[in-house]
Chain A
């Protein structure tokens, strides 16, 4: 579904990604794990067009995404649930979800859109309780669920998730990952970028470990779970 080849990205003089290649097959949940600063967010921002790579390609099916504007990439079927949630604080929960369906609303109409919204509410009942509340007043966990729900509203072909655990308490992280497992069971194609390696590997089919802008290890989620090198990638060699 999503194929990334030899992606290189720089911020001015600083190289952030040194030739990253990976693949997300349809219906699978693939995760990219690694410590902060490894280049995970840069990878997702490049896929969705917020950053321009210096070289490499990103293909969604047959379509090349590199060079496209971000809003067109979204329309092509890539939904990006960004790092730090980035919900629209001055809009209500409902309005945030409506904007999630921005690209489709004209085709599907209000009725269909509301059906979609009900689906999201079924997945995240907490959002339904707070549907009229301004997103800025939600707790961190609720904002995360809203951000995921908002991204799903566009019925994407691929959902990019950037560290849904960031800044959340463990019990909330449980909740978030439970939902991701449900989404996976529904057959939604996802690329999950996450620092919490073992959490991600619990729900993923396949994983990549990124370190200093390079994919260092890859394998099935199961094989990575038992790979001592994963731990070493985070806390230094001694931890292995």
Chain B
């Protein structure tokens, strides 16, 4: 039964290959189905950007045009063979992807949408103006026929070319989204900050998604010029870019089935209602709005809901890890996690040292000349009244803010850099307001934490080479062990957002441990927990330390702080006012003043004015 399920998509894919053998209608096969296949390639690629990494490109028609014109011009003027033209078209579109993505994705905000819209319009201008190459507004009609001896891809036979290419593309997309790349895309969409602190570079990852997406659009374009054997500028309009988005959203993002269904419906629908053709864009615009608000998962999301309700399908356990990896690993084999074996040797020596660490926001100095030393193998608490600069310190140490002055020494080396770089040096963190990847499974959350254990570029992922499989299997085993470490193994396939709050806090710790840290920054891990959950947290924090990871704990829950800490540093208005053991801190007058405000004005409690 399992194997039927596993191979069924492949069997269906092969069966569909023979459509032209059964349907001879040239319009249906050549004009409609071929176009559908080509658009599906664009839409599946667009999904990488919109569905997975959460940006919007409204200029994919431009990238599609780049592919189409590249192929047409190279074949017509230079008589290049079509396969090479396909590569060239995809490559040139990818280059435009770089030109657009490099500036637009550096910033947060709607810049990619702005840049791609502008690009789409400019490509039309260029096509119109570069007459010697593109023949301007009259378009290119001289596209050579695809006839190679006895093999002929003209007419309905074009399907035998575009369909396998489409299947291949979907196959590639599928492998990408189920790899550590796909997880990184999704993680960035759900929480860019948490993804960064798990070692995922926001900029590079988003750029990768967009460039890949551009390449798919370009590749599809090279096929497109053979459908009508004519291409002209009006085809590649802004409306087409929006239509691609509608196909994607209407079908349902993050689903190959959704990509296919959405494209099919949007291409075929106007043919069914010919008399409504004049109102086509209004209908599609309305469809997009309707889908956004009333059917957010698109057709596929709706079908899934219906099937789940009627009991025909179980709620998906989106493991996100391909079955072949699971098969290779005996889960539960590695239970004793030794987190940082190499670090035990330096016990008692300084691990993290800050000197004169300061940061200013406008006129306000949030952290002011902080000197602090965290000793290897200890639980070090950082406490202080509200607004004293604790969270800012954590953000400085994890690379979210860059200090205005001062420096941070970690394991004897100065550290500075963005969050993902800091994560790779061995500092991991959790967040005050839990920042999990809510849509992803519990296991996948930890897998994102293990992002740094993966290496190798696109090709090993696409071909699932033995080394890629090995990496995935090892990461999976490690993730499983980490979940066991925090007591969440049984919940591995749950969606993270469905975990009870206390368990979400534990999952954050497991994810943070995935980056193999020497130092774990816990930002208010007990906030919002019940007494029972705090007891569990207490035990886990000690367990982390005992496994060789030093802990810097920021916490308001004083009984927890006093119980677990080896050493405590106290901050007030951005400065260190005391440090010592819990007993020393509890007896320290400056600390008591900072918290309770007994002096400073000179009058003590005894002199307090009585009203």
Q: Which residues of A contact B (CB under 8 A)?
A: 11-16, 35-38, 83-84, 89, 136-140, 163, 165-171, 173-174, 177, 181, 184, 194-203, 205, 221-222, 225-226, 230-231, 234-239
Contacts and interface: CB of A to CB of B under 8 A. Distances in A.
Contacts of B501: 12-14
B474 interface: no
B559 A174 contact: no
B274 to A, nearest CB: 50
A32 to B, nearest CB: 13
B606 to A, nearest CB: 10
B608 to A, nearest CB: 5
B78 interface: no
B527 A167 contact: no
Interface stretch (B316-324, B382-390, B453-461, B511-519): B382-390
Contacts of B364: 139-140, 167
Contact of A137 (B363, B591, B598): B363
Contact of A234 (B388, B596, B609): B596
Contacts of B603: 202
B348 interface: no
Contacts of A16: 528
Contacts of B562: 235-236, 238
Given A197-B597, A231-B596, A222 B573 contact: no
B527 A171 contact: no
What 6 A-B pairs have minimum CB-CB distances, sorted nearest first? A196-B597, A170-B600, A199-B597, A167-B387, A14-B528, A166-B387
B586 A173 contact: no
A194 B595 CA distance: 10
Nearest to B575: A169
Interface string B547-589: 0000000001111011000000000011000000011011100
A138 B608 contact: no
Contacts of A196: 385, 595-597
B387 A238 contact: no
Given A36-B385, A139-B363, A202 B608 contact: yes
B149 interface: no
Interface residues of B, number: 42
Contacts of A136: 362-363
Interface string B68-95: 0000000000000000000000000000
A195 B586 contact: no
B601 A234 contact: no
B342 interface: no
Nearest to B588: A235
Nearest to B610: A222
Contact of B586 (A36, A184, A226, A239): A239
B362 A195 contact: no
11 contacts: A14-B528, A35-B385, A37-B527, A138-B363, A169-B573, A195-B595, A234-B596, A236-B586, A238-B562, A238-B582, A239-B587
Contacts of B583: 238
Given A170-B600, A200-B597, A225-B608, A236 B386 contact: no
A197 B385 contact: no
Interface string B467-509: 0000000000000000000000000000000001100000000
Contact of B386 (A36, A89, A174, A201): A36
Contacts of B558: 35, 234-236
A38 B559 CA distance: 13
A163 B386 contact: yes
A44 to B, nearest CB: 13
A171 B558 CA distance: 27
Contacts of A236: 558-559, 561-562, 582, 586
A201 B608 contact: yes
Contacts of B596: 196-199, 230-231, 234
Contacts of B559: 236-237
Nearest to A170: B600
Contacts of A225: 605, 608
Contacts of A194: 597
A91 to B, nearest CB: 14
Given A11-B528, A222-B610, A174 B601 contact: yes
B439 interface: no
Given A202-B608, A236-B558, 15 more contacts: A35-B558, A140-B364, A163-B387, A167-B389, A170-B600, A198-B608, A199-B598, A200-B597, A201-B608, A234-B595, A235-B586, A236-B562, A236-B586, A239-B587, A239-B592
B528 A195 contact: no
B611 interface: yes
Contacts of B527: 14, 37
Nearest to B390: A36
A185 to B, nearest CB: 9
A138 to B, nearest CB: 7
A200 to B, nearest CB: 7
B51 to A, nearest CB: 25
A196 B384 CA distance: 12
A104 to B, nearest CB: 30
A215 B561 CA distance: 22
Contacts of B587: 239
A50 to B, nearest CB: 17
Contact of A167 (B363, B574, B595): B574
B384 to A, nearest CB: 9
Nearest to B501: A13
B546 interface: no
Contacts of B597: 165, 173, 194-200
Contacts of A237: 559
A178 B197 CA distance: 44
Contact of A231 (B366, B574, B592): B592
Contacts of B609: 181, 202
Contact of B557 (A37, A197, A202, A203): A37
A39 to B, nearest CB: 11
Contacts of A170: 593, 600-601
Interface in B183-241: none
A195 B561 contact: no
B154 interface: no
A178 B388 CA distance: 22
B573 A168 contact: yes
Contacts of A222: 610
A35 B608 CA distance: 21
A32 B597 CA distance: 14
A139 B524 CA distance: 28
B580 to A, nearest CB: 13
B555 to A, nearest CB: 9
A210 B596 CA distance: 14
Contacts of B605: 198, 225-226
B593 to A, nearest CB: 8
A197 B385 CA distance: 11
Contacts of A197: 595-597
A4 B406 CA distance: 47
Nearest to A84: B387
B600 A174 contact: yes
A239 to B, nearest CB: 5
Interface string B377-409: 000000001111100000000000000000000
